[in-house]
Structure 1
Amino acid sequence: MDSPADLANRSVSRLIQNEVTTEIPVHLLFRDDPDPGRRDPRPAPVALGPAVVGSRRGTGEQPRSRRRVPGPAGPAPEPDPALVERPARVLPGVVGVLAGACGAAGCVVTSWWAGVLPPLAQGLPLPGGAGAGLGLPQWAAYAGAGALGLAGFGGLTRGPAGRAWVLGLYGRYRGTVRRTGLFWANPLVRRRRVDVRLRHWRSEPMPAADAGGIPLRVAVLVVWRVRDTARAVLGVDDHEAYLRRCVEAALARVRPAAPGGSRGAAEATGDALTRLVARETEAAGLEVYSVRPARVEYAPEVADAMHRRGVAALDARDRAGALTSVVDSVEDTVTRLTTRGLVDLDDGERKVLVRDLTVAFCAGRRETIP
């Protein structure tokens, strides 16, 4: 019979001669972020034997799944870096007026030089060289003076307060003019006027749904203005239509409060709409200050049913309040009678008195309600 020492030697003998095992701590198998600077109070490592390999692979340990924080529904549109508002190069309006006046005066002088003035001016004593007729020099003088007059008067533009001019030449953006008064710009540029004042827009009733999925019709009030004229005019086809579409998309993502909701819920709805619309319209050069629900009502297909539901809820609330008032009144009456010693009632008489008082109070309350 084998001795205990022989059994111990046999238990630690290798089953496979070329087998390699490694001692690893048991507590490290299920630990993702060990802290080497902290002393672990757990027991020392032990040998696991041939069934455990020296790496984490194959130990049966499952990786921990970390909870992901949901991000935004979609990335905001990136603005075109080439479309950034910059001031255009223009001249004061007096320069255009002087250039146009000089061109007109040049045409008059050329006509006098060619001798084509009206008959009244023909009788005046003219110096030598006048009345030479229309030759090549006269036509060249007419062309120069006419071009100067057209350039001077054709480039004059009036800049009203609260408006800006977006200038473009041959399809390229040449700058924005925000100055007021008369100024002169290149007469060949294309000018588009943009309203940069603070504006508000009240939408028509748009479809939406509350937190319970009940269809609603919501009219919102949007306060906004054009911040970057280059992006508003050249970045989108129509920035006002783009704003409307962004409001509709925001209403599809935000659940407005139902009609008759609390003021805090309405404020939360407005803040969420403002953030979404401001984020979407930033690429179009628009600055949105607030988007607030101006009117919230149920859709026509559910309006009657929700009205009946609201009336029933109000009626139930009134009935509960009336019953509470009657019960309080009966209790107060019985308590006063018994406390002051006016009546001495047993349980049966107390029940009868409570019943009679309840019937009387309910009948009297029904008569007082119109």
Structure 2
Amino acid sequence: MLPIAFVLFFGGIALFVTTLVTFQQFIPGISSVVMFICGLISFFGFMAIAPNDSRVLLLFGDYKGTARESGFFWVNPFFSKKKLSLRIRNFETGSLVQPEEKNPSTGQVVRKKSRSSGKPSKVNDRDGNPIEISAVVVWKVVNTAEALFEVNDYEDYISVQSEAALRNLASRHPYDSEDHELSLRGSVTEVCVQLQQDIQERLDQAGIEILEARISHLAYAPEIASAMLQRQQAGAVVAARTKIVDGAVGMVELALDQLKNKGIIELDDERRAAMVSNLLVVLCSDRHTQPVVNTGSLYQ
């Protein structure tokens, strides 16, 4: 189509000049003008599409299709062509979009459209504890018509719906759990899968596919962070002490059984209780013990 456009454009110019020079009839002059206009209009039908780009084609407001293949093409010059990227994009929840700014007088772009860094959202978990949470969402456009015509601004729509899905997810699960149930901190993989599914359900009508949604920040809110840290430390100390006591009881039981089975010494109930007490003190103490040698009998 490109050679035809050049022929019409430059042929119309040549025919018009020839008509003026030779003073021919009026009809060739009209034909040259028509050829020139047709050639000029045909140039508006050419478009170049880069890889992972697309053009949504409209004819007087009627959707006619989408060109997705990269290359140089010609379409109906009266088609309006809207550019839409098919590249994979990502953002962090809580980030703000800065709109594009143009100079009113010249129309030049003063500041391009950009997105600020994400800020964690503050929300209460299932137990009512205030937490801070944010997520990184990876997405791409799969249906250009739905992305342009079903929602007003699909990028803003993705941001708002992802934030809403993240808040809803955080309110359904506890931050941490001691009963091995699903929690935000202890079940990261399962929680991320749920988050991806929740966001996808909200964006199906906008022609968007969510490739990945992963929590990027998770912490207690500053007002309760210190108290929750002490709680976690206390839980860790209790768990460690429980394990130490279980091991110490097993060692004491083993020692008593071996003394009895090998007939090394016969212990009555009082001596056995004293031995158990001493061994448990030594094994369960959190610091080094110093033995005291009893030079008399147990009853003195």
**TM-score calculated relative to the size of structure 2:** 0.72
Instruction: Select which of 14, 31, 39 maps to 1:108.
Output: 14
Letter in 2 for 1:107: I
Letter in 1 for 2:11: A
Q: Evaluate the alpha carbon distance shift between residue 262 and residue 180 of structure 1 in structure 2; reply closer, same or farther with a 3 A threshold.
A: closer
Instruction: Select which of 165, 168, 186 maps to 1:253.
Output: 168
Q: Is the 8 A contact 1:114 1:138 kept in 2?
A: no
Letter in 2 for 1:163: D
CA distance, structure 2, for counterparts of residue 298 and residue 264 of structure 1: 14
Instruction: Give how far 1:314 is off.
Output: 1.0
CA distance, structure 2, for counterparts of residue 262 and residue 338 of structure 1: 51
Secondary structure in 1 aligned to 2:238?
A: helix
How does 1:213-232 map onto structure 2 within 5 Å? 213-232=128-147
Q: Is the 8 A contact 1:207 1:218 kept in 2?
A: yes
CA distance, structure 2, for counterparts of residue 263 and residue 110 of structure 1: 78
Gaps (5+ residues) in structure 1? 1-94, 116-128
CA distance, structure 2, for counterparts of residue 105 and residue 206 of structure 1: 65
Residue 234 (structure 2) aligns with? 312
Letter in 2 for 1:215: P
Q: Evaluate the alpha carbon distance shift between residue 98 and residue 302 of structure 1 in structure 2; reply closer, same or farther with a 3 A threshold.
A: farther
Which shows bigger deviation, 288-297 or 150-159? 288-297
Q: Evaluate the alpha carbon distance shift between residue 262 and residue 218 of structure 1 in structure 2; reply closer, same or farther with a 3 A threshold.
A: closer
Letter in 2 for 1:99: A
Map Cα deviations across residues 54-79 of structure 1 (whole Å, 9 max, x no partner): xxxxxxxxxxxxxxxxxxxxxxxxxx
Secondary structure in 2 aligned to 1:345?
A: coil
CA distance, structure 1, for counterparts of residue 166 and residue 184 of structure 2: 19
CA distance, structure 1, for counterparts of residue 233 and residue 3 of structure 2: 73
CA distance, structure 2, for counterparts of residue 199 and residue 281 of structure 1: 15
Map Cα deviations across residues 101-128 of structure 1 (whole Å, 9 max, x no partner): 431233134335434xxxxxxxxxxxxx
Which shows bigger deviation, 308-317 or 254-263? 254-263
4+ residue runs over 4 A deviation: 135-139, 259-264
Residue 358 (structure 1) aligns with? 280
Q: Evaluate the alpha carbon distance shift between residue 257 and residue 113 of structure 1 in structure 2; reply closer, same or farther with a 3 A threshold.
A: farther
User: Structure 1 or 2: larger strand share?
Assistant: 2
CA distance, structure 2, for counterparts of residue 323 and residue 196 of structure 1: 61
Q: Evaluate the alpha carbon distance shift between residue 103 and residue 237 of structure 1 in structure 2; reply closer, same or farther with a 3 A threshold.
A: same
Instruction: Select which of 289, 301, 318 maps to 2:223.
Output: 301
Instruction: Give how far 1:308 is off.
Output: 1.9
**TM-score calculated relative to the size of structure 1:** 0.60
CA distance, structure 2, for counterparts of residue 107 and residue 191 of structure 1: 28
Letter in 1 for 2:126: A
How does 1:284-299 map onto structure 2 within 5 Å? 284-299=206-221
What is the RMSD computed on CA atoms of the aligned residues?
3.0
Q: Evaluate the alpha carbon distance shift between residue 234 and residue 262 of structure 1 in structure 2; reply closer, same or farther with a 3 A threshold.
A: closer
Residue 266 (structure 2) aligns with? 344
Q: Is the 8 A contact 1:100 1:148 kept in 2?
A: no
Instruction: Select which of 141, 144, 161 maps to 2:34.
Output: 144
Q: Evaluate the alpha carbon distance shift between residue 333 and residue 268 of structure 1 in structure 2; reply closer, same or farther with a 3 A threshold.
A: same
Q: Evaluate the alpha carbon distance shift between residue 106 and residue 262 of structure 1 in structure 2; reply closer, same or farther with a 3 A threshold.
A: closer
Gaps (5+ residues) in structure 2? 94-117, 178-182, 290-300
Instruction: Select which of 41, 46, 60 maps to 1:156.
Output: 46
Q: Evaluate the alpha carbon distance shift between residue 305 and residue 196 of structure 1 in structure 2; reply closer, same or farther with a 3 A threshold.
A: same
Instruction: Give how far 1:264 is off.
Output: 7.9
CA distance, structure 1, for counterparts of residue 176 and residue 162 of structure 2: 19
Map Cα deviations across residues 259-314 of structure 1 (whole Å, 9 max, x no partner): 68588843443343333322221222223344343442222332222222111211
CA distance, structure 2, for counterparts of residue 113 and residue 367 of structure 1: 114
CA distance, structure 1, for counterparts of residue 14 and residue 176 of structure 2: 75
Secondary structure in 2 aligned to 1:366?
A: coil
Map Cα deviations across residues 127-165 of structure 1 (whole Å, 9 max, x no partner): xx3xx49x9667645532431332222221012222211
Identity of aligned residues (%): 28
Residue 70 (structure 2) aligns with? 180
How does 1:316-335 map onto structure 2 within 5 Å? 316-335=238-257
Q: Is the 8 A contact 1:99 1:152 kept in 2?
A: yes
Q: Quick check: which has more Rg, 1 or 2? A: 1
